[in-house]
């Protein structure tokens, strides 16, 4: 129990006895954190503090800007190196909890640096730190700067309002407070950017004070606010396309474009449009578009104050009253032998025309496969008899009947089979067996017509098309085969690889099933500040030190600690610096006990090591 709760209980007991009570000292300071709708930072947080008993206030409520009912936490870091770890604080606050989101806790701060953060997933950037200083040695005042922002006219005056942001830093004890004074007003605590909207000249003074009590020189910013310049909002302009449409949404023969512009302040001065990348043209009446094909119209408007809207755009397609499908033909090209077969490759070129609405799409398929959009001549290289079907569709939606062309491709002089190899990878034991599983990767090359299908089989299984490395996890001896065929139909020799898969070794036995898992090495109440790590066999540093065993004397206990930590340093588990801190904590402790127990315990611990 901390000293403060003991004092409170003692005061209550004295009241029951009718005796004078002892005065309970109030915390030396109050530090406040606030939260709002942000998940990236706290709404406010301290940057410095004094040592001693402190009231921590964490408020995450509607009053601090949380209007969504979202929870935040204020958690002090007790593990990251470089920060104080002597305060365990983890407060969850929600605007609708029993405390309405406002929570208090009393802690004792010591000189140094503390880190805090929010533990809720998605809020991980809500993090910060503050410095606790007793003021000793810090005689340097904070540095504080100001920045003024807002819309400005050509003379540099701010239009309608200006926002002043203050930033203070202190490398010593930390910033305690920032203040500002606007014009001839009083000094005011700065917590957020200051918005000034009164028309006229203004002077803002500012200063900052650190935890050690050093106050910066006053800074100042002067600026002038003038009336706004009237209408700065551009018009709103929209387009509507009308006309008879077919089942695909295309406009038949004609599409009419109507533009509408409005402006809530000054009047609309002009409306313009641009059709299919042409010149900008003044809009005076709906525009009729009759050309067959796809179209894009851009449009904009300008008001009397000179504000021009962003460009809008609409696209549409016009088709003619067309009921005739396109005409489509195909031609073959390539080197032919005496039988008319194409040697190595045949190239199919498809041409479509339409005198009505125009060609919209051309498609083809090879040997009954899926229909594919035609964009360029199609090469066919596989040896054998082939049929290529083709068709076309016009803008009006008329599709031609499928037509086809048939031909034969023969090998073009490539009589050399591809080369195929396999490689086995994975974790191996001392007998070169693979532990748990083995991965088989196949590689095939062909300098002639190119590699065609690559296949593999495992043991007596069927040949299977290879697409990715094959994982074999069944325990025992295995044989994997590989083969490949090139585009000309030449098949490689079958190659085989043999290997064995064995089971993974069982995990090591935990030498300390009931372990001391405190975060740091603590000996007889003395915290060494060394992380209480697992030494590799399930035992922690606190386990091998074993402060609760019996020892002949305090000196015998210290010798025990020196011995086990020296062995840990030799095994690379512990650094020399951490060993020194642990031995120092042992010396400062009062551990000691019955003679002989330490020797027995030391032997047991060395066995564990």
Q: In whole angstroms, how far apart are CA 235 and each of 287, 305, 443? A: 21, 10, 65
Q: What is the structure's pLDDT at 135?
A: 60
Residue 156 burial (10 A CB sphere; 0-12, 13-18, 19+): exposed
Residue 34's SS3 state is: strand
The pairing of strands 470-472 and 438-445 is: antiparallel
Count of other CB atoms within 10 angstroms of residue 214? 18
pLDDT digits (tens, 9 = 90+) for 410-430: 877 677 889 999 999 999 988
Q: What is the structure's pLDDT at 12?
A: 44
Question: Residues of 445-484 as b/e, b for ≥16 C-beta within 10 angstroms?
Answer: ebebbebbebbbbeeeeeeeebeeebebeeeeebebbbbb
The pairing of strands 384-394 and 255-262 is: unpaired
pLDDT < 50 positions in the chain? 1-24, 594-609
Per the CB < 8 A criterion, the answer to whether 255 and 242 are in contact is: yes
The pairing of strands 29-34 and 52-59 is: parallel
Q: What is the structure's pLDDT at 505?
A: 76
Q: Quote the CA–CA distance of 237 and 336 in Å, as a whole number.
A: 63
Residue 573's SS3 state is: coil
**What is the Rg, in whole angstroms, of the alpha carbon atoms belonging to the chain?**
42
Q: What is the structure's pLDDT at 24?
A: 44
Structure tokens at 353: 């025309």
Counting Cα atoms < 13 Å in the Cβ hemisphere of 96 gives: 5
Structure tokens at 22: 């002892």
Q: Which residues contact 444 (CB under 8 A, 6 or more apart)?
A: 418, 419, 420, 421, 451, 454, 484, 492
Q: What is the structure's pLDDT at 608?
A: 45
Q: What is the largest CA-CA distance in the chain?
A: 127
Per the CB < 8 A criterion, the answer to whether 166 and 200 are in contact is: no
Structure tokens at 139: 């005689």
Q: What is the structure's pLDDT at 593?
A: 60
- Any bridge partners for residue 132, and if so which? 49, 112
Q: What is the structure's pLDDT at 326?
A: 94
Q: Which domains does the chain have, with CATH numbers?
A: 29-132 (2.60.40.420), 143-226 (2.60.40.10), 236-319 (2.60.40.10), 327-410 (2.60.40.10), 419-502 (2.60.40.10), 520-608 (no CATH)
Residue 594: phi and psi, rounded to 5, are -65, 140
> In which order are the strands placed within the sheet that holds 476-486?
434-435, 495-502, 476-486, 451-458, 464-465
Given its phi and psi angles, is residue 358 left (phi above 0), alpha (psi -120 to 50 degrees) or beta?
Answer: left
Residue 301's SS3 state is: strand
Residue 564's SS3 state is: helix
Average pLDDT, the chain: 88
Q: Quote the CA–CA distance of 34 and 191 in Å, as a whole number.
A: 11
Structure tokens at 378: 């199609």
Per the CB < 8 A criterion, the answer to whether 222 and 203 are in contact is: yes
Structure tokens at 234: 């551009």
Per the CB < 8 A criterion, the answer to whether 216 and 141 are in contact is: yes
Residue 586: phi and psi, rounded to 5, are -65, -40
Q: What is the structure's pLDDT at 338?
A: 82
The pairing of strands 470-472 and 476-486 is: unpaired
Per the CB < 8 A criterion, the answer to whether 362 and 388 are in contact is: no
Q: What is the structure's pLDDT at 604?
A: 45
DSSP track, 470-517: EEE-SSEEEEEEEEEEETT-PBPPPEEEEEEEEPPPPPPP-S-SS---
Nearest Cα neighbor of 415 from 392, 445, 448 is: 448
> In which order are the strands placed within the sheet that holds 219-226?
158-159, 219-226, 200-210, 175-182, 188-189
Q: Quote the CA–CA distance of 534 and 513 in Å, as a whole number.
A: 12
Nearest Cα neighbor of 212 from 151, 279, 135 is: 135
Q: What is the structure's pLDDT at 4?
A: 46
Structure tokens at 564: 């086990």
């Amino acid at each position: 129990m901390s000293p403060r709760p003991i004092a409170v209980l003692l005061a209550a007991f004295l009241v029951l006895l009718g005796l004078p009570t002892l005065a309970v000292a109030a915390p030396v300071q109050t530090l406040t954190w606030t939260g709002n709708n942000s998940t990236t930072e706290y709404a406010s947080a301290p940057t410095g503090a004094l040592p001693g008993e402190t009231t921590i206030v964490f408020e995450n409520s509607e009053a601090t800007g949380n209007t969504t009912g979202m929870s935040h936490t204020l958690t002090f870091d007790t593990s990251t190196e470089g920060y104080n770890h002597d305060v365990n604080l983890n407060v969850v606050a929600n605007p609708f909890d029993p405390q309405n989101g406002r929570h208090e806790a009393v802690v004792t701060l010591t000189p140094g640096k503390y880190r805090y953060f929010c533990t809720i997933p998605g809020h991980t950037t809500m993090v910060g730190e503050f410095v606790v200083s007793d003021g000793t040695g810090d005689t340097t005042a904070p540095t504080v700067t100001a920045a003024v922002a807002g819309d400005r006219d050509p003379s540099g005056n701010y239009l309608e309002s200006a926002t002043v942001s203050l930033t203070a830093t202190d490398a010593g004890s930390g910033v305690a407070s920032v203040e500002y004074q606007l014009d001839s007003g009083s000094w005011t605590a700065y917590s957020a950017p200051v918005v000034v909207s009164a028309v006229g000249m203004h002077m803002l003074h500012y200063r900052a004070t650190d935890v050690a009590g050093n106050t910066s020189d006053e800074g100042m910013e002067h600026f002038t606010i003038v009336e706004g310049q009237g209408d700065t909002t551009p018009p709103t302009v929209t387009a509507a396309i009308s006309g008879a449409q077919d089942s695909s949404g295309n406009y038949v023969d004609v599409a009419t474009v109507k533009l509408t512009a409005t402006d809530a302040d000054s009047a609309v001065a002009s409306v313009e449009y641009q059709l299919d990348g042409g010149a900008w043209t003044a809009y005076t009446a709906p525009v009729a578009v009759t050309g067959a094909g796809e179209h894009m119209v851009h449009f904009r408007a300008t008001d009397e104050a000179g504000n021009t809207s962003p460009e809008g755009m609409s696209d549409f397609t016009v088709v003619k009253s067309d009921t005739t499908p396109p005409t489509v033909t195909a031609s073959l090209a390539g080197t032919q032998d005496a039988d008319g077969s194409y040697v190595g490759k045949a190239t199919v070129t498809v041409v479509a025309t339409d005198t009505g609405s125009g060609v919209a799409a051309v498609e083809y398929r090879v040997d009954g496969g899926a229909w594919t959009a035609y964009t360029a001549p199609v090469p066919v290289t596989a040896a054998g008899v082939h049929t290529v079907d083709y068709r076309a569709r016009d803008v009006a939606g008329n599709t031609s009947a499928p037509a086809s062309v048939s031909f034969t491709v023969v090998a073009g002089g490539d009589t050399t089979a591809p080369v195929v190899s396999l490689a086995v990878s994975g974790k191996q034991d001392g007998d070169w067996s693979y532990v748990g599983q083995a991965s088989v990767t196949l590689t095939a090359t062909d300098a002639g017509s190119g590699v065609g299908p690559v296949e593999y089989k495992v043991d007596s299984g069927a040949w299977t098309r290879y697409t990715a490395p094959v994982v074999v996890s069944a325990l025992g001896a295995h044989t994997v085969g590989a083969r490949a065929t090139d585009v000309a139909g030449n098949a490689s020799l079958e190659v085989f690889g043999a290997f064995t898969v064995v089971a993974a070794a069982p995990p090591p036995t935990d030498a300390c099933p009931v372990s001391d898992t405190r975060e740091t090495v603590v000996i007889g109440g003395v915290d060494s500040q060394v992380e209480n790590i697992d030494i590799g066999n399930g035992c922690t540093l606190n386990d091998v030190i074993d402060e609760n065993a019996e020892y002949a004397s305090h000196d015998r206990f210290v010798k025990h600690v020196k011995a086990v930590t020296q062995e840990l340093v030799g095994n690379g588990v512990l650094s020399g610096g951490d060993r020194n801190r642990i031995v120092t904590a042992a010396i400062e402790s009062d551990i000691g006990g019955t003679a002989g127990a330490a020797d027995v315990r030391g032997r047991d611990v060395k066995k564990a090591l």
